[in-house]
Amino acid sequence: MSGTVFSQLDKSLREHLATLVHLASTGDDETAADLARSEMPRVVAAVKALLDEHTPDEHGRCRTCRTRWWSRRLPAPCRAYLTTQLCLTTFDDDPTDTRTHLHRVS
Ligand SMILES: [Zn+2]
Q: What is the pLDDT of residues 5-22, one digit of tens each?
A: 889 999 999 999 999 999
pLDDT score, position 105: 44
Mean pLDDT within 22-44: 95
Assess whether 68 and 27 both reside in one domain.
no
DSSP 57: -
CA angle 43, 13, 83 (to 5 degrees): 60
Report how far ligand 1's centroid is from the alpha carbon of 6 (Å).
20
pLDDT band for position 58 (cuts 50, 70, 90): confident
The total number of structural domains that make up the chain: 2
Whole-number average pLDDT of the chain: 81
Instruction: Decide: 56 and 65 in contact? Cβ < 8 Å.
Output: no
Residues whose CB is under 5 A from ligand 1 (ion)?
54, 62, 64-65, 78, 80
**Is pLDDT at 104 greater than 50 in this prediction?**
no
The answer to whether position 26 is within a domain reads: yes
> Cα-flanking dihedrals φ and ψ of residue 56, to 5°?
-65, 145
Assess whether 99 and 63 both reside in one domain.
yes
The answer to whether position 44 is within a domain reads: no
d(CA 35, CA 26): 12
**Which domain, by its residues, includes 59?**
54-106
Assess whether 67 and 32 both reside in one domain.
no
pLDDT score, position 68: 55
